[in-house]
Chain A
Amino acid sequence: MMTGSQIMVETLIEQGVTDVFGYPGGQVLYIYDALYQAGDRINHVLAAHEQGAAHAADGYARVTGKVGVVIATSGPGATNLVTGIATAMLDSVPMVAITGNVPTTLIGKDSFQEINITGVTLPITKHNYFVSDVRELADTIREAFRIAKSGRPGPVLIDIPKDVQVGECEFTLGDVVEDFPQERVEDADIAKAVELINAAKRPYIYIGGGAAGRGMTEAIKAMAEKIDGYIGCTFMGLSALPNSYERFLGMQGMHGQYASSMANKEADLIIGVGVRFSDRATGNVAKYASKAKIIQLDADSSEIGKNVRVDVGLVGDIVDAFARLLEGCEAQSHPEWRATVEAFKTEGRMIRDEAERRAGDRLTPQKIFSVINEIKDQNTVIATDVGQHQMWTAQFADFERARRFASSGGLGTMGYGLGAAIGAQIGSGDRTVLITGDGSFGMNLNELATAVSYNVPVVIVIMNNGVLGMVRQWQTLFYGKRYSASVLGRKTDFVKLAEAFGARGARAASIEEFRAVFEEAMAQDGPYVIDVAVDEDEFVLPMLPPGGSIDDIITTREEEEK
């Protein structure tokens, strides 16, 4: 016989879990006792706040492809997970969140630290459970793992009341659960898609989060070669393909690469692989890719045609479906398309170079990233928070292999980065660089304590402009420069702050200083905070205004302010 808590821990181990993130409390004491006793087989990472723990589990999952696990107590512990769970939901990250709750006899009585967390998380989980009988616990956890990682992944929450944690029953070791089988796309649908591919003259392969980290890199490149097309990606598709690959144009959309957005607009065929055509990627859907036929491959049938009209939707196992498209289509040559896109690439480079020329010696994001790219290696993980620095990362950071990027795309969670960077580092074992801003970092900087406790080698680059840069950019462009609540005016000394937490820190005001400090930081054990000054009026460009289309693209700040 085992207790529910022991069964829970044994089932996690059975499912291959080696690391969990969390924070103890009154209604998970039995679970923490069981974790303590199994401490040689499962590693628990204590965060500073449950939100940080949830983001850590998320970052861990993004870089490893495994299910991230987070544990929290009832009530406030559980509600503190909410933003972390929602972040994972919007970005389809596999996660299992385990919460304790008051004993079943006290449920529904507004007991101390009681909250109906299954109700709270209903719209932000793929599924959730309230376990009322210890005999169902092991199978519930197994099913939760299966749901979390199958098809389109996502978070699953399991709420375990205290009496179930101490209840006893037999435990039989099971196997690691396999994914639910995915539908095989019909041959007839593949044939329709192949027909469109063969007829296309300006093909654009569009990669999203559903394709990233699925082992599809080579197939996607092979397709681009075979049909003489180009590849772009969504924000969530970053790091799916090496930036050095010449047919890869990078992210398209609101802050996308000029060439990628232009090629997306001019394409006569878009093959969307694991993309959901979000509003940030399409702008005004009525004007989106008006010249193109669209093929959409997705694991989730409700994504087909949800946001844009789709000519052929392929639902099911997209890895298999894409391989069949590749095999079925004819080899093609489109020299005109190549010339067009190469011209876009040149134009894009010119826009960037021109911006740099105007900036002169100013310490621009582009300069900062050129140093980061030079010093980091292909295994370095990059995590970000949310805002301008995140878009600069999307535009300027070089990725050479899959699953090296952790950032909150769908929910856009400021405060995501530090927890995620810690989780990503622990999951990958590789050095992690967190790109953040002074606004975002201020939201959850308490996790610096976690990074110090576990001596996590994470280099934290705070692009410090003293303002909420993305808010300011919008206020500049669309709100008559009325900078409402976006000027921080804080006196935080991030170097001293780092030292107070027991980390190292340094400041950089020029590119030379930044290079020296970043080099040193990358060679350190443990966390290192770099406070680098960025101009408060630096813009993320190009920009497609919200609800606009590529025809409204803003490429220079000066032009906009005339």
Chain B
Amino acid sequence: MRSVIAIYVENKYGVLTRVAGLFMRRGFNIDTLTVGETEDPNYSRITITMNGDSHARDQVMGQLKKLFNVKQVKLLADGSSVERELMLVKVRNSPETRSEIMAAAEIYRAKIIDYTTDSMCVEVTGESTKLNAFIEVMKPLGIMEMCRTGVVALDRGSATIME
């Protein structure tokens, strides 16, 4: 079971290490982790996605709450939150593949942000499953390298992490 956990943390020395280290030493795996500033520069927001049963998830959340610099931990439920991930994919550009890459980019509402005669860099944004699907399309065309940001997510509507 995949869970998305939002963590509101004080912007202090070592806080990312504390959060990431907790996953390591409790034996839980992080699938993605993103971190960035929030509307209040004293705080950062970390978004973690993980796989594990509800027991593992509850343990993670309980242990996270115990970290002193962590101010809030919230599980972002599937239906009531929006999430996005951004990906850059560099694909081999050749007369044979060019049109297929561009067609796929069009359909996936992706942008071509770099173009040379032998490579193209495509920017795709969306839910992780969409990104995965795009990768499958690109694979046979020759992915040279790629990079994903990991998931960011917010509650739908006026609900916030601090509610």
Contact = CB atoms under 8 A, between A and B. Distances in A.
Given A118-B14, A302-B59, A306-B59, A123 B21 contact: yes
Contacts of A198: none
B55 A302 contact: no
A305 B18 CA distance: 23
A201 interface: no
Contact of B13 (A126, A130, A147, A300): A130
A302 B68 contact: no
Per DSSP, chain A at the interface is mixed
Majority SS at the chain B contact face: helix
A54 B59 CA distance: 30
Contacts of B81: none
Contacts of A126: 66, 68
Contacts of B13: 118, 129-130, 132
Contact of A301 (B14, B55, B65, B69): B65
B50 to A, nearest CB: 16
B17 A147 contact: no
Contacts of A130: 13-14
A122 B65 CA distance: 16
Contact of B62 (A118, A122, A127, A302): A302
A119 interface: yes
Contact of B66 (A118, A302, A305, A306): A302
Interface string B1-30: 000000000000110011001000100000
A123 B25 contact: yes
A122 B58 CA distance: 22
Interface in B21-53: 21, 25
Nearest to A127: B68
Nearest to A302: B62
B157 to A, nearest CB: 27
A302 B63 contact: yes
A305 B14 CA distance: 29
Interface residues of A, number: 16
A118 B62 CA distance: 23
Contacts of B68: 126-127, 147
Nearest to B22: A123
Interface string A98-137: 0000000000000000000011001100110110100000
B63 to A, nearest CB: 5
Interface string A345-366: 0000000000000000000000
Nearest to B69: A127
B64 to A, nearest CB: 9
Contacts of B59: 302, 306
A122 B63 CA distance: 14
Contacts of B25: 123
A122 B25 CA distance: 10
A305 B59 CA distance: 9
Interface in A287-316: 300-302, 304-306
Task: With a 10 A CB-CB cut-off, give which of B14, B17, B25 has the most chain A CB atoms.
Answer: B14
Contacts of B69: 127
A137 to B, nearest CB: 14
Contacts of B14: 118-119, 122, 130
Contacts of A118: 13-14
A384 B44 CA distance: 45
A161 B18 CA distance: 21
Interface in B67-120: 67-69
Contacts of A306: 59, 62
Nearest to A301: B62
Contacts of A122: 14, 17-18, 21
A147 B66 CA distance: 11
Nearest to B13: A130
Nearest to A151: B66
A304 B63 CA distance: 11
A305 B55 contact: yes
Nearest to B12: A129
Nearest to B64: A302
Contacts of A147: 68
Nearest to A156: B68
Contact of B17 (A119, A127, A132, A301): A119
A302 B65 contact: yes
A80 B21 CA distance: 22
Nearest to B68: A127
Nearest to A144: B68
Contacts of A304: 62
B58 to A, nearest CB: 8
A123 B17 CA distance: 10
A300 B21 contact: no
Contacts of A129: 13
Nearest to A130: B13
A126 B69 CA distance: 11
Nearest to B55: A305
A126 B67 CA distance: 8
A147 B70 CA distance: 14
A301 B18 CA distance: 19
A236 to B, nearest CB: 19
Nearest to A123: B25
B66 A300 contact: yes
A301 B67 CA distance: 12
6 contacts: A130-B13, A130-B14, A147-B68, A300-B62, A302-B65, A304-B62
Q: Which 9 A-B pairs have the closest CB atoms?
A: A302-B62, A127-B68, A123-B25, A301-B62, A302-B63, A122-B21, A130-B13, A147-B68, A302-B59
Interface of B: 13-14, 17-18, 21, 25, 55, 58-59, 62-63, 65-69
Given A122-B14, A122-B17, A132-B13, 5 more contacts: A122-B21, A127-B67, A130-B14, A300-B62, A305-B55
